[in-house]
Structure 1
Amino acid sequence: MSKDFEREPRALLARLYHAAVQRALPAAQLRHHLPPVPRGRTVVVGAGKAAGAMAHALEAAWPAEAPLAGVVVTRYGHTPPRPAGLAPRIDILEAAHPVPDAAGVRAAERMLAAVQGLTADDQVIALVSGGGSALLALPAPGLTLADLQAITRALLLSGASIGEMNAVRKHLSRIQGGRLALAAAPAPVWTVAISDVPGDDPATIASGPTVPDPSTAADALAVLERYRIALPEPVRQALLDGRLETPKPDHPRWADCTVRLMATPHQALQAAADEARRLGLRAHVLGDAIEGESREVGRVHAGLARYARQGQGPFQPPCVLLSGGETTVTVRAPQLAVGERARGGRAAEFALGLALGLDGLPGVWALAADTDGIDGTEDNAGAFVAPDTLSRARALGWSAQACLDRHDSYGFFAALGDLFVTGPTHTNVNDFRALLLV
């Protein structure tokens, strides 16, 4: 059996990735999570990398005779082709990710306008997925778009967790942290979300525009101070005195708000595990909320694989080890030459750390990829690792450690032909990692 897996390890790993993504596609899942048709109008708002696909799925599922209109925003290039014969009822806009731009500001303004003047007989359906924090950008009073962009870039390079980043984003926004739901009152709000965050907390997904925010302005200020990120003094004062506080869980508005999780990282990993077992492989899900520095998480996975290959521990080859979560990459400027930029995202940096940790260990192949199809800011979803990854790199004159030091995981795997390229998948349930042990 192991020889069959060994002949086509990359094809098998890619198959597991696609099984995970398939479980999270809106076309197959969203119709099961929709509210009843109201007496009045239904207004749709939404943001995230899956927002375009979610809008199409809602248009297909909603009764043709029932009113439906609204606007959502997704990342540039992430609007899927419209299904044949499907009439457009929801406007799909595009904006920048991970650093917001003016298009994201305009999209947020349109959403706030769309929910004005509603009644209790109307309803709002919010389609929320990962990436919405950057795409739904509407700076708080006293903050410019340029300020917000600088703060976002600094957070992305700092190694801050997704929870820390979103605590800041929610308090520096006029639409996130529950404020969109307040603007829609008295209409009830029904949120359908695809989780891309550890723990599946709706308040963290896309910075929770339609749910209560348990974090505080003091929390946001503490994050900015912890990572030494500059803030305009008037905005800092507004955080200190609570003027930028978000609506909390005890606000009466939440009695009219409902949240449904359409897809989660756990469900996606379970779909991949089911596919592996169907193919005759033992499958183990290590966890769907693994956080930490990408390269270090890669080395930990290497340690688990090495232990199993020695015939120790609970994992018996042939098997596949699956994990998800949201790791971080802390970019250390002194390691980059003048004019040089980091190339590669969380998945490829995990793969590079894994390859170094495995150090050519026989019988281990791996795929690390982002389920939205884009790892960081490059064109790949992630990268493959094989037993000969380091030896092939050395033969081509590439040093894995040097590439890791300068955050060039993309260049390393591109030189080997080991990038995993899918294009946008139109969903997002966070990182996917699979180690095949034979």
Structure 2
Amino acid sequence: MIRKSLALAALCCLVTASPALAAPAAPLLAHQATLELNEASSAWILTSTALVLLMTLPGLALFYGGMVRRKNVIATIAHSTAALAIVTVLWFVVGYSLSFGVSGEATNPYIGGLEALFLNGVTPTTAFAAAPGLPEFLWIAYQLTFAIITPALIAGAFAERIKFSASILFFFLWHLIVYAPICHQVWGGGWLGSWGVLDFAGGAVVHVNSGVAGLVAAIVLGQRHGFGRDNMAPHNLAFTAIGTGLLFVGWLGFNAGSAWAADAIAGVAALNTILAAAAAAIGWTAVEWFAHKRPTLLGLLSGIVAGLVGITPAAGFVDPKGAFFIGILSGPACFVGAVWLKKLLKYDDSLDAFGIHGIGGMVGAILTGVFASAAINPVSEGADVVKQIVGLLAVVAWSGIGTWVILMICKFTTGLRVTKEDEIEGLDYTQHGETIHQ
């Protein structure tokens, strides 16, 4: 009886102290509209949500897991899994509100408010104001999948040498300090989107953001032990090929789903996504073949991902001719970033998070300003290369500085790197007590 009374008292205290949990739903929050259900579009976005979630686990997990050495496969897959778990809970608690919420009656240009803390005020009859045909719960789920994959992409830069405890703290802080503000600035009514910077599906929000963070992380952590001397070739390119296929299929939900409707723009975004990926694979392989005298499967797979990244900001703004040129240019540009630039500057971006996502996202964002067509999407009428470049500079600065601060917090709390002995033995066993047997 006493235990039941204490439990009831604790529950009452929790409800009293947590108005975001206890308050009744407001009729409409500042970011909301009354739902005007579009069943066809809702079905498509529900499907797209599943496709984008597939990109992180198992898609990215296998893509990255195949490229590391055998002793670090489990640890690498654990990064994608941890990002999914941490970001999902954070998104429910505060991330969605910081990304798409509004403070008072006006939209803050840099960060959302706390009006939707714990999804307070979200009901089955509300919609996000920009997508009134979709239930807000579905909108939240779809946007969550973007928030999940972005920090998971960064893990490719610090793979094989970071403490798992540090990666957990990093994902937690990075979502709040870097992802949510940039998402709000571009997509949530903040200054970049309002000013006219175009980012259809996350060239800046996801790829440039994660790529720059990966570069900063790679520099701060330093090179892996034996970098440039030991054989660090991928242990299983079959894993990487399967992961690429899953990413490719999932990317159709990533790009075509960002039309927020089952319409003509979603159709052109889907075609552009496939075309750009194929063109980039050809572009990457042509340069690699010329430079190294032989084509590789890893190069083909990397080229496909480079094209997918490059077309992301432009998918629903350009026609297929524009998509082709974005793809054919993204492949060689990412090859330069992932191979030559890394060798020139001697930083150890383990799985080319910056070389592919950072460089590819920048190329795609700038070329969006070049190839955007009002005949495809009326929003393209305002396309401006200068605005695209300014938007990129803003994202690079916020992501770079924010990531450095977070890494310093991790360094002086959990610590960043495993010991030399643990790194040599492998993170699978030293961090997780598990191994992949021969």
Indicate the TM-score class for this superposition, using the shorter chain for normalisation. under 0.3
- Structure that is richer in strand per residue: 1
TM-score under structure 1 length normalisation: 0.26
Higher relative contact order (CA 8 A, sep 6+): 2
TM-score under structure 2 length normalisation: 0.26
